[in-house]
Amino acid sequence: MIKNLSIFIFLFSIVGCSSSNQSLQFTVSENKIDLPLPKPEEVKNYEDDHQFREKHFIYSDGSIFFITDDSKTGSEFNQSKVEKFGDSILLRIATSDTLDIFGESESGFWREIKFNNPTIVAGYFNTSKEMKSRFDSTLSELLKLN
């Protein structure tokens, strides 16, 4: 009986852990991008005056993972990037290289990566150390596709 209970608890914990992760999607120019992320508390969609779209996956600790099709400036919500580089930083550069900028501020860790195929910017801000490692793993998966 105790052995069966132990096996049940073990299997339940495996199922519980795997169900907390999911593949979330973002569509850019008819390309669906799967993002292996933990299930967020909330998802918000934004669109600016130039029809650039940005999607935020917001977690209970305040960490935010984002993806946007604004490859010129990246996330307009990442104030830590603006504090470090100024509000006129442009991510679109005359090269086909991937651009990766990152830092740490009072509000947590942040990172933005400009990808070229498809042309998107993904990253995180206001992020705790624990979520940083999870988000870095997601960004590594995206880098493999680029």
* Tens digits of residue pLDDT in 33-91: 778 888 999 999 988 887 888 899 999 999 999 988 876 767 776 666 667 766 666 65
Residue 17, in any domain of the structure = no
End-to-end distance of the chain based on CA atoms, in angstroms?
A: 51
Q: Is the pLDDT of residue 127 over 80?
A: yes
Q: What percent of the chain has pLDDT over 70?
A: 62
Query: Residue 68: its pLDDT value, please?
Result: 86
Query: Residue 53: its pLDDT value, please?
Result: 87
Residue 13, in any domain of the structure = no
Name the pTM for this structure: 0.73
Residue 118, in any domain of the structure = yes
Residue 14, in any domain of the structure = no
Residue 98, in any domain of the structure = yes
Residue 6, in any domain of the structure = no
Query: How many domains does the chain contain in total?
Result: 1
Residue 4, in any domain of the structure = no
Range of the structural domain that residue 27 is part of:
23-145
Q: Is the dihedral of CA 111, 129, 22, 48 positive or negative?
A: negative
Residue 8, in any domain of the structure = no
Return the biggest CA–CA distance within the chain. 67
